Amino acid sequence: MSFFRSISALSKLRSRVTQQSSLANSVRLLQTQTSSNLDLQSELRELIPEYQERVKKLKTDYGKVELGNITVDMVLGGMRGMTALLWLGSAVDPEEGIRFRGMTIPDCQKLLPGVKPGGEPLPEAILWLLLTGKIPSKEQVDSLSQELQTRATVPDYVFKAIDALPVSAHPMTQFTTGVMALQVQSEFQKQHQSGLAKARYWEPTYEDSMNLIARLPAVAAYVYRRIFKDGKIIPRDESLDYGGNYAHMLGFDDPQMLEFMRLYITIHSDHEGGNVSSHTAHLVSTPLADPYLAFAAALNGLAGPLHGLANQEVLRWIRSVVAEFGTPHISTEELKEYIHKTLNSGQVVPGYGHGVLRKTDPRYTCQREFALKHLPDDPYFQLVSKLKEVVPPILLQLGKVKNPWPNVDAHSGVLLNYYGLTEENYYTVLFGVSRSIGVGPQLIWDRALGLPLERPKSITLEKLEAICEKAA
């Protein structure tokens, strides 16, 4: 079947899935995409020529097809709504939210292997899906788990680099320092300096991305234990999967917390290409900066309070509400009063709003479902549930907020807090580890598809004014 026929068949199937919203249809759609019995790198090696052909055909036959007009609003509005990036792993629909390679979060929960049947998807499984577009078998996921374990050893100088910082440095600063220190072992940089052919760029990018993903939990756990647990380090448990082992190294062994970590990593892995961290990683990699350099840059964007740091801000804000009233059992009127106080002091309500979404974030919804199942009586969870009713009408009244609904960050903090990970300053590091699983695959595809240096055109204020005057 030709590329365009298969795409049109897939989109017909997909719209049927959306209309009927039935899992049976999803299964039919995805059966064709189930992985063969190859290992991850061999699977990828098989796919690359086909994808290269598809991109080549688009360039040669359809290069002048328009994707939309660029307006002044877009240039002044942070490029909102401007389709300008190729991103394979996922797409965000304003109404429906995220799809990972065409699969919704409930699809992933049903179809991707967990530790046990019916368990939350393993992060290794979403990594496989994002990289290949195929659903891995449990055996493939288990062997990927082992592969990541064999790559997971972190050189000592990484920890020493972190130790050079004051313990009081923000966890994200310590984490990014660790990532920069990991860069010393970049295969891409080494091979490129020895004269690597362009057609092979993706191979050391694969090595670096997989090593980076494999090593991040140990670096991230080191930062946590250094800051909050007197530096008492917990070695990795090789019998555990990626998410389970990360929770274990942080110091959490409650099986429910391990399941939450798997879900957390899965849903935070990717959110199409335009968000600050993903876009930054892609941008920084285009002049052939290696995956470590690109990912460290991405983390610095993630550390902004309007992006990844919002999860920290949410729990801090919820704590401030509880401190104000001396209890998490707060009346609707009191909550309204506090929200107005926040807005009147010129601050945003963290965890609400989104640059693309116009409905409740499905990443919020699946965390809510997890909480309803495991901690329905937790007072902080109940407060978060109440906020979902109280905040949106108030934001709507402002008349300027495009999306008054809760996003992913509105929920994660109370779950982590419930399982004992109470230090909210650390939350963005968890997000960072997860994001590597979305960014890594795209960096590999960027090099496999030979995507060029990113270099959009900018415009001066005078020129913009002149164009507008002429148009008027």
Ligand X SMILES: CC(C)(COP(=O)(O)OP(=O)(O)OC[C@H]1O[C@@H](n2cnc3c(N)ncnc32)[C@H](O)[C@@H]1OP(=O)(O)O)[C@@H](O)C(=O)NCCC(=O)NCCS
User: Which stretch in 31-39, 157-165, 215-223, 350-358 sits in contact with ligand X by CB under 6 A?
Assistant: 350-358
305 token code pair: 């309070």
State how far the Cα of 219 lies from the Cα of 242, in Å rounded to an integer.
13
Q: Annotated catalytic sites, by residue?
A: 307, 354, 409
- Inter-CA distances, 248 with 252, 264, 345, Å: 5, 15, 40
What is the closest distance, in whole angstroms, from the C-beta atom of residue 91 to ligand X in the complex?
A: 16
Q: Which of 264, 301, 263, 274 is nearest to 92 (CA)?
A: 274
Instruction: Kindly report the number of other CB atoms within 10 A of residue 420's CB atom.
Output: 12
Nearer to ligand X, 68 or 305 (CB): 305
User: Which stretch in 89-97, 348-356, 425-433, 464-472 sits in contact with ligand X by CB under 6 A?
Assistant: 348-356
Interacting residues with ligand X between 408 and 467 (CB under 6 A): 408-409
Q: Which of residues 35, 132, 145, 407 is near ligand X by CB under 6 A? A: 407
What is the closest distance, in whole angstroms, from the C-beta atom of residue 288 to ligand X in the complex?
A: 30
Binding mask 260-299 for ligand X (x = CB under 6 A): ----------------------------------------
Residues linked to residue 97 through DSSP beta bridges, in sequence order: 93
Nearer to ligand X, 158 or 267 (CB): 267
What is residue 339's three-state secondary structure?
helix
Burial class (CB in 10 A: 0-12, 13-18, 19+), 239: exposed
What is the closest distance, in whole angstroms, from the C-beta atom of residue 388 to ligand X in the complex?
A: 13
Residue type, 261: M
User: Which stretch in 103-111, 164-172, 232-240, 400-408 sits in contact with ligand X by CB under 6 A?
Assistant: 400-408
Residues linked to residue 257 through DSSP beta bridges, in sequence order: none
By CB under 6 A, residue 352 contacts ligand X: yes
User: Which stretch in 10-18, 19-27, 81-89, 352-360 sits in contact with ligand X by CB under 6 A?
Assistant: 352-360
Nearer to ligand X, 98 or 234 (CB): 98
Nearer to ligand X, 403 or 442 (CB): 403
Instruction: Kindly report the number of other CB atoms within 10 A of residue 200's CB atom.
Output: 13
Contact 394, 339 (CB under 8 A): yes
State how far the Cα of 127 lies from the Cα of 22, in Å rounded to an integer.
25
State how far the Cα of 338 lies from the Cα of 344, in Å rounded to an integer.
10
Q: Which of residues 402, 450, 463, 464 is near ligand X by CB under 6 A? A: 402
Binding mask 294-333 for ligand X (x = CB under 6 A): ------------x---x-----------------------
Nearer to ligand X, 210 or 430 (CB): 430
120 token code pair: 């939350």
What is the closest distance, in whole angstroms, from the C-beta atom of residue 26 to ligand X in the complex?
A: 26
Q: Which of residues 121, 273, 328, 350 is near ligand X by CB under 6 A? A: 350
Contact 367, 361 (CB under 8 A): no
- Inter-CA distances, 309 with 58, 225, 410, 427, 429, Å: 38, 20, 12, 8, 9
Nearer to ligand X, 226 or 411 (CB): 411
User: Which stretch in 161-169, 282-290, 395-403, 417-425 sits in contact with ligand X by CB under 6 A?
Assistant: 395-403
Q: Which residues contact 468 (CB under 8 A, 6 or more apart)?
A: 72
State how far the Cα of 47 lies from the Cα of 51, in Å rounded to an integer.
6
**DSSP assignment of 278-316, as one string?**
HHHHHHHHTTT--HHHHHHHHHHHHTSTTTTTHHHHHHH
Nearer to ligand X, 183 or 312 (CB): 312
Q: Which residue is nearest to ligand X (CB)?
A: 353
Q: Which of residues 213, 267, 298, 349 is near ligand X by CB under 6 A? A: 349
User: Which stretch in 53-61, 187-195, 329-337, 403-411 sits in contact with ligand X by CB under 6 A?
Assistant: 403-411
Element (H, E) at 181: helix 171-182
Nearer to ligand X, 244 or 404 (CB): 404
State how far the Cα of 208 lies from the Cα of 203, in Å rounded to an integer.
9
State how far the Cα of 310 lies from the Cα of 410, in Å rounded to an integer.
8
By CB under 6 A, residue 351 contacts ligand X: yes
- Which residues in this chain contact ligand X in the complex, by CB under 6 A? 306, 310, 343, 348-355, 395, 400-403, 407-409
